[in-house]
Amino acid sequence: MIELRKVAYSYGGGELFAEVSLALQPGSFHFLTGPSGAGKTTLMRLLSAELLPTRGEVTLFGQPTGAMSRDDVAGARRRIGLIHQDCQFLDHLTLAENVMLPLAVAGRQPEAQGNIAELLAWVGLTRQADQKPPSLSGGERQRAALARAVIGSPELVLADEPTGNIDWEMSQRLLTLLAELNRMGRTVLIATHDLNLIRAARALVPARTLRLAQGRLVTAGADL
Amino acid sequence: MSILSAPRSVAAEMPPDRVVPPSGFTAQLTVLAAAAMAFLAVFALALGSAAGRLAERWDAELARTATLRISAPPDQIAAQTEAALRVLQTTPGIASARAMTSAEAQALLQPWFGPDLPVALLPIPQLVEITTTDAGFDATGLRARLQGEVPGAVLDDHTRWRAPLIAAAGRLRVFGGLAVALIALSMAAMVTLAAQVALAANERVIRVLRQVGASDRYITRAFVRRFTLRGLAGAAAGTAAGLLAVLFLPGDDAAGGFPTGLGFQGTGWLIPLAVPPFAAAVAWIATRTAARRSLRAMT
């Protein structure tokens, strides 16, 4: 599904990481952890074809990202549910409209009619459905980003610090949803520095933890 | 709200241009530019239409007439006029010939000299009004005959000054068309500018759309739809205002001159109705080009 082969990324004259190789198999669940500034967000952006590697190759759904056209990238993004650290929305649309945006751009809007209310209820945003994003709290925005990322039943969910702005209870609910998605065959990769979240996930899903530090990606042990 | 019922905001399908923020000065700029350009386009079309009518009228009115001017000493003028009328009556291609009275001559001169002109005291040549048949007459042959029989006669078949008048009216018509083309170009430039500003101002919106899998085609369509509708709305308002303005201009009959005869006649009033769709087409092309270029430049 996703493969990184000897990937390096340079930024501002320095090399953020090098020789990073990784294969995410369909239906797998991964955590990506590491200290701040190690390049977790950059790695996530490489995986969603937002960035191209300086060296090496990233293969997304069987296609090298460097050889993808703009249409190819858009097509690949429709198969990925992205949750960014700084969740961005279209401020003039309602929360519900923002959540169903992935379906609207894919021409699958009618599918939203049935499941959007259910999804918003699940993330606890039913009352906020008709509100505009600027009026939402940080936690509400994070939950809305999660709903938007999963509404199209993506094959892969990439979540960058998805629990950064939400309380522990909501983090657990979010984790449960991602674990459910994983049980339905979706591949999940969560970048987080929250080790408690990783530990909590072990009870829900067989997750593999990767650690990015000092420019290298290694599999972390059970000592986390 | 029931958990299974869709929220109010998603009850209806979201049109693509909903993703473009609705406000901003670019929206007003596009509507205003389209309205102003459509207003001017209506006047340019009215100018072209009036010029066309004028050329046709001059051509029709002057093509079948000629004038004979007889300058002779007072004691010979009557005899020469009679001789000229005899020659004209026997000339093929001339339908009728009539000596104008001094009152008619005075009426012709009145616009220049006023009503108190003592025509009888002035050495004004005798004018003979000639109406030709559709086939026309041989002007060279007639001049030769008149030279022999009426030495004081000068034949004016109007060709000398008819051609430049018709050419001038034709040129006015071309200017009208040129003005419409320039207006369309100006509108295209303004819409392009507004679209580029809107795209630059909405870079964050575009980033979010790309993040959720929107293709450049989808984003382009959203902006194009928004700007085309704005162009159409502005041009419709401008055209309506232009038509009202043209409608309330004094007509031909009121003043009889060209500048006041600016307007449309009969089915000609339908021509300006093409302005709003044309403006929308211009906005469509301009926004599409601008959006494609801007999106290519955005990483």
Alpha-carbon gap, residue B169 to B216, rounded angstroms? 49
Q: Percent of chain A, pLDDT > 90?
A: 49
Q: Percent of chain B, pLDDT > 70?
A: 90
Alpha-carbon gap, residue B104 to B287, rounded angstroms? 63
Length reported for chain B: 299
Q: Identify all chain A residues contacting B213, using CB atoms and an 8 Å cutoff.
A: 74-75, 77-80, 102, 105-106, 152
The partner residue sitting opposite A116, judged by closest CB among B6, B215, B216, is: B6
ipTM (interface predicted TM): 0.88
**E strand or H helix at B217:** helix B216-247
Residues of B with CB under 8 A from a CB of A: 1-11, 13-14, 16, 18-19, 21-23, 204-205, 207-218, 295
Interface contact B19-A90, CB threshold 8 A? yes
The partner residue sitting opposite B213, judged by closest CB among A77, A88, A89, is: A77
Interface contact A74-B4, CB threshold 8 A? no
Tokens of B266: 């009969």
Q: Among candidates A182, A219, A176, which has minimal Cα distance to A200?
A: A176
Alpha-carbon gap, residue B53 to B45, rounded angstroms? 12
Interface contact A89-B208, CB threshold 8 A? yes
Q: Identify the band that residue A223 occupies on the pLDDT scale cut at 50, 70 and 90.
A: low
pLDDT value at position A188? Answer: 95
Interface contact B215-A75, CB threshold 8 A? yes
Alpha-carbon gap, residue B82 to B99, rounded angstroms? 9
Taking residues B113-128, report their average pLDDT. 78
Interface test with B, best of A50, A93, A122 (most B CBs within 10 A): A93
**E strand or H helix at A2:** strand A2-11
Q: Identify all chain A residues contacting B225, using CB atoms and an 8 Å cutoff.
A: none
| Nearest-Cα residue of chain B relative to residue A149 | B212
Min distance A201 CA to chain B CA atoms (Å): 26
**E strand or H helix at B189:** helix B159-201
Q: What are phi and psi of B155, to 5 degrees?
A: -90, 125
Amino acid present at B76: Q
Alpha-carbon gap, residue B80 to B147, rounded angstroms? 11
Computed from CA positions of residues B290, A87, A157, A93, in that sequence, does the dihedral angle turn out positive or negative?
Answer: negative
Residue boundaries of the structural domains of chain A = 27-52+68-206
pLDDT value at position B11? Answer: 41
Instruction: Name which residue leads in pLDDT, B251 or A171.
Output: A171
The partner residue sitting opposite B4, judged by closest CB among A91, A118, A152, is: A118
Q: Is 50 exceeded by the pLDDT of residue B6?
A: no
| Nearest-Cα residue of chain A relative to residue B22 | A92
| Residue A145 · residue A166 · CB < 8 Å | no
Q: Identify all chain A residues contacting B226, using CB atoms and an 8 Å cutoff.
A: none
Alpha-carbon gap, residue B262 to B242, rounded angstroms? 12
Min distance A35 CA to chain B CA atoms (Å): 26
Taking residues A53-73, report their average pLDDT. 93
Q: Which CATH architecture has domain A27-52+68-206?
A: 3-Layer(aba) Sandwich (3.40)
pLDDT value at position B5? Answer: 39
pLDDT value at position B63? Answer: 73
Beta strand A63-64 with A208-213 is unpaired
The answer, for A91 touching chain B at a CB cutoff of 8 Å, is: yes
Q: Is A143 exposed, middle or buried (0-12, 13-18, 19+ CB in 10 A)?
A: buried
Interface contact A88-B209, CB threshold 8 A? no
Interface contact A118-B3, CB threshold 8 A? yes
Amino acid present at B212: V
Buried/exposed code over A82-108 (b: 16+ C-beta within 10 A; e: otherwise): bbbbebebbebbbbbbbbbbbbbbbee
Q: What are phi and psi of A219, to 5 degrees?
A: -80, 130
Interface contact B7-A120, CB threshold 8 A? yes
Angle (nearest 5°) at CA A142 between A189 and A101: 85
Alpha-carbon gap, residue B214 to A75, rounded angstroms? 8
User: Could you report the per-residue pLDDT of B81-100, keeping only the tens digit for each?
Assistant: 999 999 999 999 999 999 99
The partner residue sitting opposite A113, judged by closest CB among B1, B10, B218, is: B10
Interface contact B210-A77, CB threshold 8 A? yes
The answer, for A117 touching chain B at a CB cutoff of 8 Å, is: yes
| Nearest-Cα residue of chain A relative to residue B221 | A105
Instruction: Name which residue leads in pLDDT, B163 or B171.
Output: B171
Strand order in the sheet with A14-24: A14-24, A2-11, A55-60, A63-64
Alpha-carbon gap, residue B272 to B281, rounded angstroms? 15
Residue boundaries of the structural domains of chain B = 19-59+172-297, 72-151
User: Could you report the per-residue pLDDT of B130-144, keeping only the tens digit for each?
Assistant: 988 888 888 889 888
Q: Among candidates B281, B269, B174, which has minimal Cα distance to B182?
A: B174
Alpha-carbon gap, residue A154 to B11, rounded angstroms? 23
| Nearest-Cα residue of chain B relative to residue A121 | B3
Q: Identify all chain A residues contacting B2, using CB atoms and an 8 Å cutoff.
A: 117
The answer, for A44 touching chain B at a CB cutoff of 8 Å, is: no
What's the mean per-residue pLDDT of chain A?
A: 88
User: Could you report the per-residue pLDDT of B40-75, keeping only the tens digit for each?
Assistant: 999 989 988 888 888 787 777 777 788 999 988 888
Q: Is 70 exceeded by the pLDDT of residue B256?
A: no
Q: Identify all chain B residues contacting A105, using CB atoms and an 8 Å cutoff.
A: 209, 212-215, 218
pLDDT value at position B162? Answer: 75
Q: Identify all chain A residues contacting B23, using CB atoms and an 8 Å cutoff.
A: 92
